[in-house]
Amino acid sequence: MKPVKLLRSGILHLCFALFFWSCGGNHSAAHEHQQDDKAQTEQKAEKGKAYTSAYVCPMHCEGSGSEEAGKCPACGMDYVAQAEHSEDGHSH
């Protein structure tokens, strides 16, 4: 092989190796960090009025939740008692 072709081939192989090495190493760590952030955000949201009031919207709409029975101002669904809602299989 000519030296120029050998040099081009070596550089090309090096570029591919660096590309695959750089893409594979950090992806899983970034994905785990993203999942941790999502879980923390969901935990914070579940402490809001839509989750902790005596009566809650089954859809947990933003701005919903009340200490009295009624309808959700966001979606119009009837509120359900928090105790009944958490006992019917909803673990959130």
- pLDDT value of position 72: 94
- How many Cα neighbours within 13 Å face the side chain of 54? 5
- pLDDT value of position 87: 60
- pLDDT value of position 52: 86
- pLDDT value of position 23: 65
- pLDDT value of position 25: 54
- pLDDT value of position 68: 93
Q: Nearest 5 degrees, angle CA 73-CA 37-CA 31? A: 130
Rounded mean pLDDT for each run of 10 residues along the chain, 92 residues in total: 81 83 60 62 65 90 91 94 71 54
- How many Cα neighbours within 13 Å face the side chain of 3? 0
Assess contact for 50 and 57: CB atoms under 8 A: yes
Task: Find tokens 């969901």 and name the residue.
Answer: 42
